[in-house]
Amino acid sequence: MIYSKEELLEAKRQIDSTLHKLREVVSTLEGKETPTRYQSQITLAKRRIQAFTIAMTLIERELEQRPR
Please, what is the angle between helix 5-30 and helix 39-65, to 10°? Answer: 160
Q: Tell me what pLDDT residue 67 has.
A: 83
b/e burial code for range 19-43 (CB count within 10 A of at least 16 → b): beebeebbeeeeeeeeeeebeeebe
The answer to whether the predicted template modeling score (pTM) of the entire model surpasses 0.85 is yes
pLDDT in tens, 39-59: 999 999 999 999 999 999 999
